Structure 1
Amino acid sequence: MSLPAPPVRCGIIGTGGIAHAHAHALTDLGDRAELSAVAEIDPARAAAFTERFPVSAVYGDAQGMLETERLDLVHICTPPKTHVPLAIAAMRAGVPALVEKPTALSLAEMDELAEVEAETGVPVLTVFQHRYGPAAIRLRKLVASGALGRPLVATCETLWYRDDAYFDVPWRGRWADEGGGPTMGHGIHQFDLLLSILGPWTEITALAGRLSRPTNTEDVSMALARFENGALATIVNSVVSPRETSRLRFDFEYATVELEHLYGYREANWRFTPAPGHEDLIGLWLDDDPADPESGHRLQIEAVVDAIAHGLEPGVSLTDARRTMEFAAATYASAFQGRAVTAGEITGDDPFARSMHGGAVPWPPVKGTVTA
């Protein structure tokens, strides 16, 4: 009889709102994970966090935690601009990092992370939790098996609402701090799920606009995408939509599969419609698992913790995350240059590899700020 694996020792950098989701997930895992330490530059915020979650050690900076603690995983829950330097510090300390989206602010930064990962042999993972819902896993298996036939048409919509006050936080809506608008910070979860189902894309034609919000970035983007398998998809990312929803629809040869939710889905949020003559496919889709977990942080963090505990490769890898980041970069490049952009085109010294805005934003910056 084998002994249970020791708990995976975890640290969290940053104790803002999203860190609470990580801490709740780790707490729910019981003796499989241990929240060993947190690093937070704001003492008051650290104190509030440790009142809610049992933590053995608190540090005023990430480097001190990485140098002192023996960690198996560090969760990076800080503003986007800090993700890359913190992930590099973790890799050089020998600690795998699970990074909140976006992993980086540009493809060049993603490639920098990949270089350090290759040098150290320590992985960087990205939080894309919607990949881990049971229905999404089931759909990927059905697509891979060919049971649904070829994918033909897809739609992906992140129609959210953020008022003007949302952008009062200094790093929001600034290219240099957040990397982009709803394409990078909101819709990325939905189109990452889309990409995980449909596979590699080949071409994007897009539009983007700052229609309403006091932001340097876009507040709406729309893209048309072609995939290697021939499927065509529309992708909409918005923070100006009062009735908020997140919708995905996949039309295959033999069935339509739909999802509508907001920030997390369960089985009831999905709909499966077989094509005439293919009603037997309903049996492949139905799931009688009574657990019915929501597609939140818990599922991905559980998968990552279990992979580390058993010496397996956890997801979502830098390679997978870069495909999603490239989709965002191509959306901006197409929108700001007024042309189609192909997969693999944005490389090297391309301005859209160095930053998502590519130095080509067609609207003026908000007064008192800069576009970079």
Structure 2
Amino acid sequence: MIKVAIIGSGGISLPHIEAYLQFPEHCRLAALCDVYPDKARQRAQQYHLHVDIYDNYKKLVERPDIDLVSICTPPYTHAQIAIDFLNAGKHVLVEKPMASSLAECDAMNEAAFRNKKVLSVISQNRFRQSVMKVKGVLEANLIGPVVHAQVDSLWWRGSSYYDVWWRGTWEKEGGGCTLNHAVHHIDLFLWLKGMPSEVVAVMSNVAHHNAEVEDISIAICLYPDGSLAQITSSVVHHGEEQQLVFQGQYARVSIPWQLCAYKARENGFPARDFELERKIRQTYNELPDLQYEGHIGQIYDVLLAVDGQKDVLVNGCQGRRTLEMITAIYQAASTGRPVKLPLSADSPFYTREGILAQAKYFNTK
């Protein structure tokens, strides 16, 4: 029986609690921790949990019966908490974004490797039926090489959203919509298309004067094969449409699921390729359904990995890769210059201190 502790009892802790409660044969919630312990007690009462309550995670670090920790605290705290628990021999599942900088990601991954413990980063949208099936279609190569990808992570938030003291700051939140809203779409994009070799970007703050950070960014990515991708991250879009579109040489597929295939007429103009569409649709429909989706799916994956039954699907290295892409967007948008990938320790944005010194500040918080 895996004993679990959850650090942080804010809103994001709810899907963790609910997911762990789905698997009583695998795990038991043993502790909740929050700097405001009354919040943790309220969560325990809300879910009728018989757990110990802590006001400081360091009191939990040396508790020998805790096997797995979910970290649901603000992003700037993730790295130290994760490293402390990994060094104490605990497995760690950390909410997105993984950390505030690539330097912190590297320190977290080093601790996981050295202590031979699972480190996973929440990427719950990978655990969706449509996402897994589109991945299967792309791997079947029926659409041909992807020549263009489009990522639209479009959200809307009012100014009061940034009234929370830590939001909208480079120091505490680590960035704006590119990091904290588009992170899931960027993770999916990299998982499905891979890392580009170069990125250019612009960002702005057009509607949130109580935030230091961007509320919209647009990035263009170049791949070694010449293919392109564009990523729009926003909290100023009414309608909140979100999609990932993959234009292959022979057909187009997307999340949410859409399909279109063309073939050329004699004059080069398009005609629908219904036969290819049929094959792609058949492949999509025949791919197996997931047993669990979202946070429940990812936490089940982590529990199996902790039990030694499989490798975790989303490890710390993949979490770092997502932050690397976001960091490259921030570096390109702040400096006005293209950024080559991969990023290493010589990047001016590699450390949290480097980001704080060189990121573009739009307003005073």
TM value normalised by structure 2: 0.90
Tell me what 1:202 maps to.
197
Greater Cα shift, 312-321 or 162-171:
312-321
State the SS of the aligned residue for 1:176: coil
Provide closer, same or farther for how the CA distance between residues 253 and 357 of structure 1 changes in structure 2, counting only shifts above 3 A: same
Tell me what 1:24 maps to.
18
The 8 Å contact of residues 221 and 228 in structure 2, kept in 1 or not, is answered as yes
Provide closer, same or farther for how the CA distance between residues 285 and 89 of structure 1 changes in structure 2, counting only shifts above 3 A: same
2:264 is aligned with 1:270 = no
Tell me what 1:354 maps to.
351
Q: How does 1:149-298 map to 2 (within 5 A)?
A: 149-213=144-208, 214-259=210-255, 269-275=256-262, 276=273, 277-278=275-276, 279-287=278-286, 295-298=293-296
Q: Distance in 1 between matches of 2:50 and 2:150?
A: 43
Q: How does 1:1-372 map to 2 (within 5 A)?
A: 7-53=1-47, 54-213=49-208, 214-259=210-255, 269-275=256-262, 276=273, 277-278=275-276, 279-287=278-286, 295-344=293-342, 346-355=343-352, 357=355, 359-363=357-361, 365-366=363-364, 369=365
Tell me what 1:262 maps to.
none
Aligned length: 350
Q: Distance in 2 between matches of 1:140 and 1:229?
A: 20
**2:317 partner amino acid:** T
Q: Distance in 2 between matches of 1:81 and 1:116?
A: 18
Deviation track 1:119-169 (CA, whole Å, cap 9, x = no partner) reads 322232110111121322222233233233111111111111111111111
The alpha carbon displacement at 1:288 in A equals 8.2
Tell me what 1:263 maps to.
none
State the SS of the aligned residue for 1:359: helix
State the SS of the aligned residue for 1:205: strand
Identity %: 30
The 8 Å contact of residues 198 and 227 in structure 1, kept in 2 or not, is answered as no
The alpha carbon displacement at 1:182 in A equals 0.6
Q: Distance in 1 between matches of 2:26 and 2:45?
A: 22
Deviation track 1:280-338 (CA, whole Å, cap 9, x = no partner) reads 22110115878786x52111111111222244221311211111111001101111111
The 8 Å contact of residues 136 and 287 in structure 2, kept in 1 or not, is answered as no
Deviation track 1:197-249 (CA, whole Å, cap 9, x = no partner) reads 00121111100111121211111111001234543111011111122121111
The 8 Å contact of residues 9 and 71 in structure 1, kept in 2 or not, is answered as yes
The 8 Å contact of residues 200 and 228 in structure 1, kept in 2 or not, is answered as no
The 8 Å contact of residues 274 and 281 in structure 1, kept in 2 or not, is answered as no
Q: Distance in 2 between matches of 1:8 and 1:35?
A: 9
Tell me what 1:265 maps to.
none
Provide closer, same or farther for how the CA distance between residues 348 and 242 of structure 1 changes in structure 2, counting only shifts above 3 A: same
State the SS of the aligned residue for 2:150: strand
Provide closer, same or farther for how the CA distance between residues 363 and 20 of structure 1 changes in structure 2, counting only shifts above 3 A: closer
The 8 Å contact of residues 159 and 244 in structure 1, kept in 2 or not, is answered as yes
Q: Distance in 2 between matches of 1:59 and 1:19?
A: 15
**1:143 partner amino acid:** L
The alpha carbon displacement at 1:271 in A equals 1.9
Q: Distance in 1 between matches of 2:184 and 2:198?
A: 20
The 8 Å contact of residues 137 and 280 in structure 2, kept in 1 or not, is answered as no
Q: Distance in 1 between matches of 2:64 and 2:55?
A: 13
Provide closer, same or farther for how the CA distance between residues 300 and 292 of structure 1 changes in structure 2, counting only shifts above 3 A: closer
Q: Distance in 2 between matches of 1:314 and 1:236?
A: 29
TM value normalised by structure 1: 0.88
**2:87 partner amino acid:** R
Deviation track 1:171-196 (CA, whole Å, cap 9, x = no partner) reads 10111111100111000111110110
Q: Distance in 2 between matches of 1:314 and 1:9?
A: 18
Q: Distance in 2 between matches of 1:208 and 1:331?
A: 9
Gaps of 5+ in 2: 263-272
Provide closer, same or farther for how the CA distance between residues 140 and 42 of structure 1 changes in structure 2, counting only shifts above 3 A: same
**2:24 partner amino acid:** G
Q: Output the aligned Cα RMSD.
A: 2.0
Provide closer, same or farther for how the CA distance between residues 38 and 363 of structure 1 changes in structure 2, counting only shifts above 3 A: closer
